Structure 1
């Protein structure tokens, strides 16, 4: 992600005005706007300690009927879902519409840099030895199960952005019984068929350049959150081979891990929870061409939605000033079809 820091350096001189929430923690920001908030620690099956923040209800309702989990993209964290502030950020919006909202934080990120026995600095090789595969089959699985245990629900709604969509695909294909624990998914900038990805650096830089100066320092405070290089390499393998499959360790190690010299594919036919995909015309990581592939392979695609505005990009799913009307209302409308 070196390119990200190059962009920040280029834009740094333009950060003149401060965002009012700059230097506040996530919990402090949510409390500032009078929303209830809790923080939970979730231990994964392989020993990582993840924090999940919960907004149990909105400002005018105290008995939510449904549970929703929001999952960030690579380099992101729970803060991604509150950047615009209330009432338009998705975490606040869904809480106000009757959802018990939980914010996911994958291993290694801002809120999830602890392990039962490993230190991220002293035991770097072991601690950071994961890609988004492990985030899916450990972090996401254990987070979903934890939330359902706490809330006494049988299933929840899921919103993922970028890598948050990737881990949804992996979880449901690798552990098919998890499909029954997901009422429906809304996948923003779904990332799997990355062989169709054009160059992203210039495009993303242009989007950052166009953001208002007051919100940028607040974004930079939390983005990018830390990640493993293996996450990036795994995506790189997908781009290079055009194949959405498990991490390629080389023939010798693959044979030991997978009983095959080549890594196995993720099976989209097992991804059966009702799914809506959302994408823009100018998103290098989730193009309309990629959306065509999802239509071919996903068995329960119930919404195929291209945002109806020219120039809509990857970051717009979190930062566009009109994102509520363009996307978030559509998410709530989709989920309403599957509420109790």
Structure 2
């Protein structure tokens, strides 16, 4: 393979960076930074919190209690909990800096909590397991909904004294809220409002070209033996490939942009200077069982518990088919805003309309941009005016400050 002069210089800079030198000046300074480096480099006021769940997982969250330069006070603020999507991490809610949903919420007067779900690179500890143990990865989104969300709601109440909070979940984060609402209904009275961004519960009308066939025959025993897990730490190879080929001056940048088309083509909303930041930090780890659980529900066209097999279901659930997450059991007293884009290739408008119709208290919100796709909720250059402003307005409408 022959390299031109520019490519050789790029490779030279990459090799320098890999040995601890600074990034080339033409790359975004946030490239490759882990979460805490990112927060400190931008002087964000933050706290790191850890909660141990009843099943032993150490779940970390970033708290943004106040804006930069804001004088600390004992005045209570309305709380909001943000939960990321599958194999993602908290930083995606912050990458756009002052135009990010995280900083906008802080500036709007919220006490912001961003959870790193179990299996994320920032939540890999356990009371007696390590991430090298196959048993560690024997969880799906069900455990996040059943254990992690209630544990953090209790922790936030204990820290802030605020009985209630608002919820924002992107992709699987929104799906987790809907599962949580059906299996932990006692906590719903402590939710001011929930905002589910592109929760792919049903995908009969999906248009993605990602082929699930290679995973269809993978059964539970593979998971328990640790044969099929999503990488639980940043891939150095992926990072260097992204730095080499996906920076703003790379001749291959358009190829990197094209990789995002599986979410729904919307190239006009991709900030090419920030693309490398996203690609060097995401995905950030989760269990394969979580992916398989979502795939099972999609293929069965029913929002269901994990499907082991005919006989193990009988042992675990007392019935041959896995139970449903009964959406119709959700109390209609909690406002649930389900936002989606018409151009989301992971699910069609018909799928979201079905979900809204089955969920008491839910209202649909179509993002007013015809090409808005699945990752535009965190990637789009214009997300502030297309989504975030309206979301914060609705959050304020329902937000309360109540003593525990």
Shared fold per TM-score greater than 0.5: yes
Higher-Rg member (1/2): 2
> Structure 1 residue 234 and structure 2 residue 287: aligned?
no
- Aligned residue for 2:370? 310
Provide TM-score, normalisation by structure 2. Answer: 0.76
Instruction: Name the counterpart of 2:227.
Output: none
Query: SS in structure 2 opposite 1:222?
Result: coil
Q: Choose 141-150 or 213-222, whichever is displaced more.
A: 213-222
What is residue 9 of structure 1 aligned with on the other side?
none
The unaligned stretches of length 5 or more in structure 1 are 1-11
1-structure distance, mates of 2:76, 2:67: 8
Quote the Cα distance in structure 1 between the aligned partners of 2:61 and 2:374.
Answer: 24
- Cα distance in 2, alignment partners of residues 205 and 310 from structure 1: 11
**Aligned counterparts, 1:173-192, within 5 A:** 173-192=182-201
**For 1:280 and 1:204, how far apart are their aligned partners in 2?**
11
Shift of 1:60: 5.6
Deviation at 1:270, TM superposition (A): 2.9
Counterpart in 1 of 2:165? Answer: 156
Separation (CA, whole Å) in 1 of partners of 2:155 and 2:330: 21
Instruction: Decide which of 348, 363, 370 is 1:287's aligned counterpart.
Output: 348
Note the alpha carbon deviations across 1:186-218, whole angstroms, 9 max, x for none: 111022112332224452385589734421221
Summarize the Cα distance change of 1:140–1:242 in structure 2 as closer, same or farther, 3 Å threshold: same
CA offsets 1:53-85 (integer angstroms, 9 cap, x no match): 110012364445210111000011111101111
1:91 to 95, 102, 113: 102
Secondary structure at 1:337 match in 2 = helix
The residue number in structure 2 matching 1:199 is 208
Match of 1:104 among 115, 124, 147: 115
How far, CA to CA, are the matches of 1:285 and 1:222 in structure 2?
21
Contact 1:165 1:188 in 2 (8 A): yes
Please name the residue that 1:165 is paired with: 174
CA distance in 2, matches of 1:287, 1:47: 37
- SS class of match (1:332): helix
Post-superposition offset of 1:116? 0.7
Give the SS at the match of 1:112. coil
Counterpart among 105, 126, 133 of residue 115 in structure 1: 126
Give, in whole Å, the separation in 2 of the partners of 1:260 and 1:35.
50
Q: Output one character per residue of 1:73-101: Cα deviation in whole Å (capped at 9) or x when no partner.
A: 0011111101111x111111100100010
Give the gaps of 5 or more residues in structure 2.
Answer: 1-9, 15-23, 211-260
1:271 maps to 2:271: no
**Stretches of 4+ aligned residues off by more than 6 angstroms:** none
1:297 aligns with 2:358: yes
Which of the numbers 253, 264, 279 marks the counterpart of 1:220?
279
TM (norm. structure 1) is: 0.90
Q: Distance in 2 between matches of 1:331 and 1:69?
A: 14
Distance change (3 Å), C-alpha of 1:314 and 1:180: same
Question: Residues 185 and 117 (structure 1 numbering): CA distance in 2 closer, same or farther, change over 3 Å?
Answer: same
8 Å contact kept, 1:196–1:289:
yes
Question: Which residue number corresponds to residue 132 of structure 1?
Answer: 141
Instruction: Pick closer, same or farther for the CA change 1:328–1:192 going to 2, 3 Å.
Output: same
| Aligned residue in 2 for 1:80 | 92
Matched pairs, number: 324
